[in-house]
Amino acid sequence: PFPTTMSAPIRVLVTGAAGQIGYSIVLQIAKGDVFGPNQKVTLVLLDIPAFATPLEGVKLELIDCALPTLAGVEAVTTEAEAFHDIDYAFLIGAMPRKEGMERKDLLAANVKIFKSQGLALAKYAKPSVKILVVGNPANTNALIAAKYAAGKVPLENFSAMTRLDHNRAAAQVALKVGVPVENVKNVIIWGNHSSTQFPDVAHAKVLKNGQEVDAVGAINDTAYLQGDFISTVQKRGAVIIEKRKLSSAMSAAKAAVDHIRTWHVGTKPGEFVSMAVASDGSYGIPKGLIFSFPVTIENGKWSIVQGLKIDEFAQGKINATTKELEDERTDALEACGESKQ
């Protein structure tokens, strides 16, 4: 639960704050949707120098919101100003993909941002800082940021966002069963935030007619669950780009808010959420890959849910997304000038 008395401000960095997701997310953070109505925040907004003026405009609007939870706003264009002493970082600033691209096509352009920000985290941030990477390809960017912050910021403080995919999967289940989305829990996104991700309902529950039942039984349509359900979630980002000519921003900002709020306050009893974190070898995933797992969270620490049964179909999907993440890691390290692994 959120604290009940007003607490001293925490410093929260949003990168890419002059961009689309930035504009959608800053108000939500500033007004308490993430850290609660009794936690003051100082918002640090970073964008590139070419966007200093629109960034200043976002800062002025935040001031004009007259929010009791907003202790201050800093609009900055250097990593030194942005990263010093922060408690949380929403690393959003990066190039978005256009129609016809896969997210990994952004790797060459974006991975260097995360190398530089990893080094900046090591130099300026508190070792306790918690980091969410949203900029794509999110899992691999998080791996690179963590690598360059190693020795200062622990690996478990890094995460990448698959909560949007998690929310998309829960919403599809709710629509199919005909229940409100809050009646759906424990869908899982395994692997990469990409078209190889595996949205899995095998362990999900649905509250229907006052009873908690297995989502698989409530849906009762294997062809759908192994076909259209998976591809709808896998391809949702591309469909949004096709229709909006811009990538998802409102739903992405909402998912980032959900991700950090859950990390901050914890999961509810019996609930797990999807979060891309460093593998510890669970479910046979190579150690160190930033892989989306089902996690529970207590006292600000996530734990991968253990012992879930993985059938042959699921294993095939998990293998495919693992392979893609291993390939992305190789390409990213090469782009960062590291020798091939």
Q: 148 to 167, contacts with ligand NAD by CB under 6 A?
A: 161, 164
Min dist CB 141 to ligand LMR, Å, is: 12
Report the partner that residue 92 touches, choosing among ligand NAD, ligand LMR, none (CB closer than 5 to 8 A by kind).
Answer: ligand NAD
Q: Does 249 bind ligand NAD (CB under 6 A)?
A: yes
Angle of CA points 334, 102, 321, to nearest 5° = 75
Min dist CB 219 to ligand LMR, Å, is: 23
In which element (H, E) is residue 251 found?
helix 250-265
Of 74-82, 204-212, 232-240, 291-299, the segment contacting ligand LMR by CB under 6 A is 232-240
Task: Report the residue from 12, 21, 153, 187 that binds ligand NAD according to the rule CB under 6 A.
Answer: 21
Instruction: Based on the residue annotation, tell me whether 193 is a catalytic residue of this protein.
Output: yes
DSSP state of 292: E
Q: In terms of C-beta density within 10 A (0-12 exposed, 13-18 middle, 19 or more buried), how is residue 271 classed?
A: middle
Min dist CB 73 to ligand NAD, Å, is: 16
Nearer to ligand NAD, 245 or 309 (CB): 245
Q: 1 to 30, contacts with ligand LMR by CB under 6 A?
A: none
Query: Of 77, 73, 87, 71, which is closest to residue 153 (Cα–Cα)?
Result: 87
Cβ neighbours of residue 317 closer than 8 Å, sequence gap 6 or more: 190, 191, 196, 198, 200, 230
Residue span 116-145 as binding mask against ligand LMR, x where in contact by CB under 6 A, dash where not:
--------------------x---------
Rounded to an integer, what distance in angstroms lies between the CA atom of residue 163 and that of residue 214? 21
Q: 79 to 98, contacts with ligand LMR by CB under 6 A?
A: 96-97
Residue span 33-72 as binding mask against ligand NAD, x where in contact by CB under 6 A, dash where not:
-------------xxx--x---------------------
Q: 164 to 223, contacts with ligand LMR by CB under 6 A?
A: 164
Rounded to an integer, what distance in angstroms lies between the CA atom of residue 88 and that of residue 11? 7
DSSP state of 94: S
Contact criterion met (CB below 8 Å) for 86 and 12: yes
Rounded to an integer, what distance in angstroms lies between the CA atom of residue 140 and that of residue 37? 34
Rounded to an integer, what distance in angstroms lies between the CA atom of residue 200 and that of residue 261? 23
Question: Within the chain, how many helices (H) and strands (E) appear?
Answer: 11, 14
Q: Does 247 bind ligand LMR (CB under 6 A)?
A: yes
In the structure encoding, which two tokens stand for residue 262, read together? 């859950």
Residue span 69-108 as binding mask against ligand NAD, x where in contact by CB under 6 A, dash where not:
-----------------------xxxxxx-----------
Pinpoint the alpha helices (H) of 178-214. none
Tokens 């990168």 -> residue: 15
User: How many residues lie near ligand LMR (CB under 6 A)?
Assistant: 11
CB count in 10 Å sphere of residue 3: 12
User: How many residues lie near ligand NAD (CB under 6 A)?
Assistant: 29
Nearer to ligand NAD, 48 or 181 (CB): 48
Min dist CB 237 to ligand LMR, Å, is: 2
- Phi, psi of 115, deg, nearest 5: -65, -50
Q: What amino acid positions are annotated as catalytic residues?
A: 193
List residues binding ligand NAD (CB under 6 A).
Answer: 15-16, 18-22, 46-48, 51, 92-97, 113, 134-136, 138, 161, 164, 193, 247-249, 252
List residues binding ligand LMR (CB under 6 A).
Answer: 96-97, 103, 136, 164, 237-238, 240, 247-248, 252
